[in-house]
A and B are shown apart, each in its own frame.
Chain A
Amino acid sequence: DAGVIQSPRHEVTEMGQEVTLRCKPISGHNSLFWYRQTMMRGLELLIYFNNNVPIDDSGMPEDRFSAKMPNASFSTLKIQPSEPRDSAVYFCASREGQGPGYEQFFGPGTRLTVL
């Protein structure tokens, strides 16, 4: 398996523009997580899905952020409008099951820079 796939790997945009980050989880995994990593705050969980359903979005910073998972093999994280403080590395992770023993597998991340 190719692992968790994220695109794009790098994104540079201007303030006010819409940004869409994409993730393809590992086939057969039924949980998907979106994280954001910055020097100031470390690695933060934004939202996670089980069986394509959002379970906990309490980490989503504000209404400018939205995430969808239309099917088991694809998820998007959208920021509209983007702001310079959204600059960070965004990771997607997937997991095969719930409970102890099921580790999260992370993608390579998308480095977002908002000018």
Chain B
Amino acid sequence: LAKTTQPISMDSYEGQEVNITCSHNNIATNDYITWYQQFPSQGPRFIIQGYKTKVTNEVASLFIPADRKSSTLSLPRVSLSDTAVYYCLVGEGNNRLAFGKGNQVVVIP
């Protein structure tokens, strides 16, 4: 499994754009990059997935540089309800994914 490295936690003010980075230096050719979000007392939920360049959906954008050794999840204009743990996962076909501890994002009023 490709290992990922994320900051443990970060704070952001309401209304700002939040960029969460993830390092995955040993990503394999067939690996996809997937992000999940977990609110307190809930199970994680899928946010976005990408292979290269940029992917955007109604929730977030995912930026992946050409070497694919890192990725950045961008949350536009966060609100208090975006306070959650964000997991960056790397794997082939969404099989055995290592969630780890994720990145605790706290949105401050």
Interface residues of A (CB under 8 A from B): 4, 35, 41-45, 48, 56, 91, 93, 95, 98-109
Q: Give 9 A-B pairs besides A93-B43, A107-B43 with Cβ atoms closer than 8 angstroms.
A: A42-B101, A43-B101, A43-B102, A45-B98, A98-B94, A100-B51, A104-B44, A105-B46, A106-B43
Contact indicator B99/A100 (Cβ below 8 Å): no
Asked whether any CB of chain A lies closer than 8 Å to the CB of B29, the reply is no
Q: Which residues of A contact B98 (CB under 8 A)?
A: 45
A109 to B93, CA, bound (A): 24
Please name 6 pairs of A and B residues whose Cβ atoms are closer than 8 Å in the assembled complex, sorted by A. Answer: A35-B99, A91-B43, A100-B32, A100-B93, A106-B45, A109-B43
CB proximity to A under 8 Å, residues B26-84: 32, 34, 36, 38, 41-46, 49, 51
Interface residues of B (CB under 8 A from A): 32, 34, 36, 38, 41-46, 49, 51, 87, 93-102
Task: Identify the 7 closest CB pairs spanning chains A and B, nearest first.
Answer: A106-B43, A42-B101, A103-B46, A43-B99, A99-B93, A42-B100, A100-B32
Q: A99-B93, A103-B94, A104-B94 are in contact. Are A44 and B43 (CB under 8 A)?
A: no
Contact indicator A42/B45 (Cβ below 8 Å): no
- The total of interchain contacts (Cβ-Cβ below 8 angstroms) comes to 62
Q: Which residues of B contact A100 (CB under 8 A)?
A: 32, 49, 51, 93-94
Q: Which residues of B contact A43 (CB under 8 A)?
A: 38, 44, 87, 99-102
Q: Which residues of B contact A108 (CB under 8 A)?
A: 41-43
Q: Which residues of B contact A4 (CB under 8 A)?
A: 43
Which residue of chain B has the shortest Cβ distance to A31 in the bound complex?
B95
Which residue of chain B has the shortest Cβ distance to A44 in the bound complex?
B99
B60 to chain A, nearest CB (A): 14
A24 to chain B, nearest CB (A): 14
**Most chain A beta-carbon neighbours within 10 Å: one of B36, B51, B101:** B101
